[in-house]
Structure 1
Amino acid sequence: ASASIPADDLISVGTIGLIKAISTFRAEKGNRLGTYAVRCIENEMLMYMRSSKKYGNEISINDPVGTDKEGNEIVIMDLLCDDDLSMIEEIDTRLQAARLYTVMSRVLTPREIEILALRYGLSVPGTTRAELTQREVGKILNCSRSYISRLEKRAIEKLRNTMEE
């Protein structure tokens, strides 16, 4: 085994090889389990070492990339972190929007989806457009403002009930 591969990794890979050997062993082929298992374990370790060599130039988020003004070492992780959490908030917002779109497509009629999309400026996930008044939506869909109001209220209630489940 290579000195650069930790013993724990080799033990784990060997265990995977043993599990594969046990699950694929066929006694009717005339081999002994021990002989077959050794071959499977060796093969698994060789495959692991090949893949480790192939990706040997991987970088770590703890690798240094330079120094700051005070001479402190900067690592990749420092560049990825955002103190104001804007990236995390953006991801959270997108996840919530994706969940909302999934729920909308599952519980609302196409007409209700269209009304909410026009009213709240929704478009495809991740984009927005102008929010319209109930009167403007009614004009587009050739309906009264009060009818749009009722459908909007019903659609929001359906979403609220589904999201609370």
Structure 2
Amino acid sequence: MMTEKETRLVEENVPLAVYTAGQWMKKAVLEWEDALSAAEYGLVKAAMSFEEERGFCFSTYAVRVMENEIRMELRKRNRRKKVVYFGDPVSGAEGLTLGDTIADTRDHFGMSETVHDLIRNRDLTEKEREAVLLRFQHPEKTQEECGQMIGIGQSALSKYLNSARRKLKRV
């Protein structure tokens, strides 16, 4: 719960949040509502943590906190972009999506020949190939579980998968 003083700081500085969000709209690809929401959240956070005795002006402090919240929103969006979806197009194959190249695992036929061809015909390392095959063969398992199957951690498996994805997208 915010104190009366914190509430007043927020109410008086809403235009500063609007201005800060607007400045970030010029710098980054971010929807207006998302930038403003992050800035307003930062404004509230700043009001609740502001220490007047440190000698700073509230607006100076608040702008820093709002900008950090906007940066965190951008980072969150960038992390989401690194996810590969079955609807992603396969490079070099007009109209073909990643999902089109995978056999229905409920049929227990494993992966399609297209996936094997994609993996075989690229400059993937043995670990990258192994990581990709594991993820396709065991979609129900987490990266942590797949990594354990080949004796590596989740972060190493993720690294191999990202590297393989970049190589497969190039063609």
Work out whether the TM-score is over 0.5.
no
Q: Give the structure with the larger strand fraction.
A: 1
Scaled by the length of structure 2, the TM-score of the pair is 0.33
Scaled by the length of structure 1, the TM-score of the pair is 0.34
If you compute each CA radius of gyration, which structure gives the higher value, 1 or 2?
A: 1
